Amino acid sequence: MDFALNNHVSAAAALGRTPESLLAALDGHLFLNHQYWLRRLAVDLGLDQHYVTSALIRLWLQQPDTRQQAHELAVALVKTD
């Protein structure tokens, strides 16, 4: 949820919601166990949990550092074959 909070403008756009509505939905998530975060966020935004998960993962993977780490992991996995 830190990613969504720190990137709330782009995350809100990816989810089709306003930044303010995303921030309101994120309020209080720190007090939940992590396994409930995405389900609760989806409910609070009135969206399907799979849609929210997919949108946030796609946005996260667009981050340069994450993309680089994913590439390095893929290369390492191919080398071990």
Give the global pTM.
0.79
Range 36-51 average pLDDT: 96
33: tokens are: 């166990």
Residue 67, CA distances (Å) to 10, 15, 54, 62, 74 in order: 17, 21, 16, 6, 11
**Residue 9: per-residue pLDDT:** 96
With 80 as the cut, is the pLDDT of residue 32 above it?
A: yes
DSSP state of 7: T
Read off φ and ψ for residue 80, nearest 5 degrees: -85, -5
